[in-house]
A and B are shown apart, each in its own frame.
Chain A
Amino acid sequence: MDEHKKYPNKLGIIGWLGGGRWGIERYLYTLHRITGLGILLYFCLHIFVTSSRLFGMNAWEKWMGFFKSPIFKMGEFLVFVGFAFHALNGIRLILIEFGFAVGKAEEPVYPYKSSLNTQRPLMVIVMVVAAVLIVAGGYQFLGFVH
């Protein structure tokens, strides 16, 4: 059996992105990972930019001027959106990991209901709070609040 050639059928990153009739929690999973990587990238850039102060006031001013452009303002807003989603969804995941909101084991009766149904109200609340935060943040970033 083992000497036969086999084809590796790993989904890889495509496995994150879909390609199927998936549930909403799977998209949150993907978004959680993407926003996590985005925040990590921002963190690296942030360290790089703030370290420019080591090279004198001129270098600092140059970088700060560079980031005043509208594109970077929009980028900052996207970082905020990613952060708001990642933080709140992370709280949901921590609660679930401690066994809250997933319910107890029960006899499976068709049509099956799973822990996903049990935790869905929590997911809806968390996403509503994230949306409110993002909208409030949008007001700030778009300059309605000074």
Chain B
Amino acid sequence: MAKKTQKETDIIFYIHRFNPDVDSKPYTQKYTIRVEPGMTVLDGLHLIKETQDATLSYRFSCRMGVCGSCGMLLNGRPSLACNTQILDITMKNLTVAPLPNFNIVKDLVPELTPLFEKHISIHPYVIQNKTDEMLDPTGEFYQSPEELTKYLQFSYCIKCGLCMAACPTLATDSEYLGPQPMLQSYRYSIDTRDDGFDKRKKVVGNTHGVFRCHYAGECSNVCPKGVDPARAIQLMKRELVLDYLKIKKHRSTSFIMGKPEGVKRRPEIPKAPPFTVEQK
């Protein structure tokens, strides 16, 4: 990491450009901007677009590391442009390229469709066998704080695709599921409200699934939310091995916690407002 400076500095941006209507392959274009301390790479790209080149394309939305839209390769490392300060990573040159392992739509815009398709393939939702309860709920599925902790870390994923861009296995095997979907498969399978392990193991336990991961660990290193996909993948492997050996502990689904009985409403809690739509 470059030594942080408190002065304004001229930084040269080497930005990978690609216009599908004109170019046969990407090329690099050079821009120089005056960078103030605290400026993020996204701020720099905005400045270039406003003052030097309006044709520059990149994807962004929230500007605060929540939406996961502005994933880019910054000086060779997948990062979010909005939560990476320029002077934190360079004092001179900054190479900005689109996320690798995805097709380039234009300039810095990657095509994230494969990520979402793979994500959908692992059934990323709670699958519950108690269909009657799901259609006509009588209470809530109970979950203890310890049970919540088992998957909470993995539920912070914002689907930015940085882990997929950093994965060396995905670089040589397009069919490989990649860190994000495999992480999600563990996140839902370990949830005590879920009964979908058997359905998911058919997807993540195959040739291009979790056992192709050899723990390069780069997915966890680049994750902007501290989600740690590498850990989830290893824990999913353990679940699959234990299941294969038929020594996996049977986990019963959360019990349904009904409404409390014999409890009076506290007087300081106001009554709910009347319904605004007609009740059946």
Contacts and interface: CB of A to CB of B under 8 A. Distances in A.
Interface string A1-15: 000111111111111
A116 B235 contact: no
Interface in A52-88: none
A26 B26 contact: no
A61 to B, nearest CB: 41
Contacts of B216: 25-26, 28-30
A121 to B, nearest CB: 15
B13 interface: no
Contacts of B168: 11, 15-16, 26, 29-30
B195 interface: no
B205 interface: no
B105 interface: yes
A109 interface: yes
B214 to A, nearest CB: 5
A38 B231 CA distance: 29
Interface string B76-87: 111000000000
Per DSSP, are chain B's interface residues mostly helix, strand or loop, or mixed? mixed
Contact of B75 (A14, A21, A32, A103): A21
Interface stretch (A42-50, A92-100, A138-146): A92-100
A32 B228 CA distance: 22
Contacts of B220: 114-116
Contact of B217 (A6, A7, A116): A116
A105 B234 contact: no
B238 A115 contact: no
Nearest to B150: A105
A12 B171 contact: yes
Interface string B44-82: 000000000000000000000000000001011110000
A23 B103 contact: no
26 contacts: A7-B25, A7-B104, A9-B98, A9-B101, A10-B171, A11-B100, A11-B171, A13-B171, A20-B77, A21-B76, A25-B216, A25-B217, A26-B168, A26-B216, A29-B214, A29-B217, A97-B241, A105-B152, A107-B152, A108-B153, A108-B156, A109-B226, A112-B225, A114-B228, A115-B230, A116-B217
Interface of B: 18, 20-21, 25-26, 73, 75-78, 98-105, 110-111, 149-154, 156, 166, 168, 170-172, 174, 211, 214-218, 220-221, 223, 225-228, 230-232, 234-235, 237-238, 241
Given A30-B168, A98-B237, 4 more contacts: A7-B26, A105-B152, A105-B235, A108-B225
